[in-house]
Structure 1
Amino acid sequence: MRNPEQTIGNLIDKSNLTIISYIDNDGFPISKAMLSPRQREGIKTFWFSTNTSSNKVKYFRENPKASIYFVNKRFFRGVSLVGMVEILETPEAKEKLWQDGDTMYYKQGITDPDYCVLKFTAKKGRYYSNFKSEDFDI
């Protein structure tokens, strides 16, 4: 892969679904579909909005290790990124990601206590394309 940030960034931008994985109390991985990240910086940092009351937030508070996966079904390409999640509940973090229509998920608006931000910071990844995989550091 000549330019990982561009190649993987394009795949991420065209994906409308993210699979996020976390570890439960018994040490098992749990994967969950989420909407695409609200924002990203390159292929290192991603921000997602989610419900504070969700299981993933509960488990991320106990173990911040995570992975996110993006796939291009048409060309059968994908990228898995592993890293750490921070749960952000500050007004600044919430305002940064708030979008029109979010009251559908967070009835009390931007100050809803059930609204928080997940900040995922990648450490390394694995890219799959053309029947082969390639590991890379971030």
Structure 2
Amino acid sequence: MKNPEQTIGNMADKCGTVFMSYIDDEGFPVTKAMLKPRVREGIQMFWFHTNTSSNKVKFYRENPKASIYFVDIRFFRGVCLAGNVEVLETSEAKEMLWQEGDTMYYKEGVTDPDYCVLKFTAVKGRYYSNFHSEDFVI
């Protein structure tokens, strides 16, 4: 991969769904489909919104280890980023991600206690394309 920042950034921006994994209390990985990140900083930091009451929030608070996976089905390529998640409930974080129509998910608006932000920080990745995989450090 010639330019990881550009290649992976384009995949992240164009995806409709991203897969996010956490480790449950028995040590098993659990993968959930999520809406694409609302904000990203290069290919290292990605911000997602979710329900505070979700299992993933519970388990990220216990163990922040996580991975996210972007896939480009058209070209059969993908990238897995491994890193850590912070659960953010500050008004600044919530307002940064809030969009019109989010009351569909969070009835009480931007201050809804069941609305939080997940900040994923990648430390390494593995990219797959053309029957070849390669590891890279972020």
Using the size of structure 1 for normalisation, the TM-score is: 0.99
Residue by residue over 1:21-43, the C-alpha shift from the partner in whole angstroms, topping out at 9 and shown as x without a partner, is 00000000000000000000000
RMSD (Å), alpha carbons = 0.4
3-state SS of 2:53 partner: coil
Structure 1, unmatched stretches of 5+, are: none
Aligned equivalent of 1:123? 123
Residue pairs, 1:28-107, within 5 angstroms: 28-107=28-107
3-state SS of 2:106 partner: coil
Residue by residue over 1:99-133, the C-alpha shift from the partner in whole angstroms, topping out at 9 and shown as x without a partner, is 00000000000000000000000000000001100
- Quote the Cα distance in structure 2 between the aligned partners of 1:108 and 1:73: 36
Matched to 1:26, the amino acid is E
Residue by residue over 1:24-76, the C-alpha shift from the partner in whole angstroms, topping out at 9 and shown as x without a partner, is 00000000000000000000000000000000000000000000000000100
Q: What is the aligned residue count?
A: 138
- Quote the Cα distance in structure 2 between the aligned partners of 1:8 and 1:92: 27
- Quote the Cα distance in structure 1 between the aligned partners of 2:110 and 2:12: 26
- Quote the Cα distance in structure 1 between the aligned partners of 2:112 and 2:43: 29
- Quote the Cα distance in structure 2 between the aligned partners of 1:58 and 1:40: 23
Matched to 1:108, the amino acid is E
Residue by residue over 1:10-30, the C-alpha shift from the partner in whole angstroms, topping out at 9 and shown as x without a partner, is 111111101000000000000
Aligned equivalent of 1:25? 25
Matched to 1:5, the amino acid is E
Using the size of structure 2 for normalisation, the TM-score is: 0.99
Runs of 4+ in 1 over 3 A off after TM superposition: none
- Quote the Cα distance in structure 2 between the aligned partners of 1:101 and 1:14: 21
